Homo-oligomer: A and B are copies of this chain.
Amino acid sequence: MERLRVPLLEESLYISMAPSALPLCEHTLKSSFTVPRRYLFGPGPSNVPPRILTAGSQPMLGHLHAETIEIMDHIKSGIQYAFQTQNRMTLAVSGPGHAAMECAIFNSVECGDSVLIAVNGIWGERAAEIAERIGAKVNKIVTSAGSYFQNDEIEQALSKYKPVLFFLTHGESSTGVVHPIDGIGELCHRYNCLFLVDSVAALGGSPIYMDKQDIDIMYTGSQKVLNVPPGTAPISFSERACCRIFSRKTKPVSYFLDLSWLANYWGCDRKSARAYHHTGPVTALYSLREGLAILAETGLENSWKRHKYVAAYFHEGLERIGLKPFVEDKKARLPTVTTIVAPPGYDWREITGYIMKNHNIEISGGLGPSVGMVLRVGLMGCNSNKPYVDMILEALTDALKHCHKSKV
């Protein structure tokens, strides 16, 4: 095809136009900037491989052009695979993981509804905050950072609070815990409650089966195992969730995140035409499609196994250099984001700063309930491999040698 023509400025014509009546503000925008290459081994965003960056730099299309709709269909299929679901109501929210969290809660909860939130880290706290803002009666079960809930605790709370929705975090990236999922969906359904799972930090790195494990709503982010830039968030809703959502009495507070509109935009309803709802992030969808394609080519089980294997290799290495994984129960350790007990006598900020400065590697401190208690290392998607583990162990060893250690 012919190249797009270069725009033509007809400066001579402007001179004759009246000058603006008001002075223009100045700007301090610099003419260029350079982005350094860096190892992103924090809890996310993870590094984006060239294949995905290239996909995202393809030419713009209209958000409802036939090719864009085909790409959206690919994405739907890719999410269904990654989530292990056949839900028709599967799509990507045009925003980060927090937008997906709001999408899940805004659509499934009405003002005055009772909800139950499992809090074992920051994500439960955030879900509670979101539900409170829309007037839900928020009930929490809380356990300490690094631990998780037993199914009988959950059942007691379901029985006591009779919630319409139970929120659980699959991969608690603030504490490094992967939560067991088996049996919980069944319990929720016994108590006529929807089961909502946040799998932002775990999806693709730790097994989860949306359909088989009776999950009603699940979402993830693009910038973790999928290695896609942040800005889109896959989400899926079961038939049971849809029944509840489409028979609610009031409209969700957000038009932008209203599932009835999103369903049509993503071709998940039974209407033949897609109406204009909002302008989706077209090039971000190219990238998301590519990230899902890479996961599909790798194979979900291979990806789960690699993350598990690499995490175990990392955890052994940590013990070898005298560091301690924060989560004692080995089977509860999240394979994507490892929490390490903050080395006694050190300032964790000095360690992360030293490693960033001297090794060009991002690792992170704690978040929410784990602040000051842990270091966090994320190895997600293309970053989950042994050579990177060796690099991090080397960097940590170096930091422990050179950072200030108090005598206490």
Contacts and interface: CB of A to CB of B under 8 A. Distances in A.
A26 B85 CA distance: 9
Nearest to A4: B47
Given A61-B36, A221-B279, A95 B94 contact: yes
Contact of A253 (B54, B253, B306, B362): B253
Nearest to A362: B62
A9 to B, nearest CB: 6
B80 A25 contact: yes
Of the candidates A44, A84, A96, the one having the most CB atoms from chain B within 10 angstroms of its own CB is A96
A57 B57 contact: yes
Nearest to A281: B231
A212 to B, nearest CB: 5
Interface string A363-389: 000010000000000000011111110
Contacts of A382: 7
A31 interface: yes
Interface stretch (A126-134, A144-152, A238-246): A126-134
A332 interface: no
A341 interface: no
A254 B35 contact: no
Contacts of A302: 9, 11, 14
Contact of A29 (B37, B44, B78, B284): B78
Give the number of times this chain occurs in the complex, counting copies.
Answer: 2
Main DSSP-derived SS at the A contact region: loop
B10 A386 contact: yes
A39 interface: yes
A248 interface: no
A7 to B, nearest CB: 4
A400 interface: no
Contact of A102 (B59, B65, B221, B256): B256
A24 interface: yes
21 contacts: A4-B37, A10-B306, A10-B386, A25-B86, A27-B81, A35-B58, A35-B59, A36-B67, A37-B59, A38-B59, A45-B63, A65-B362, A94-B231, A95-B99, A96-B256, A102-B255, A229-B281, A229-B284, A230-B282, A276-B367, A284-B284
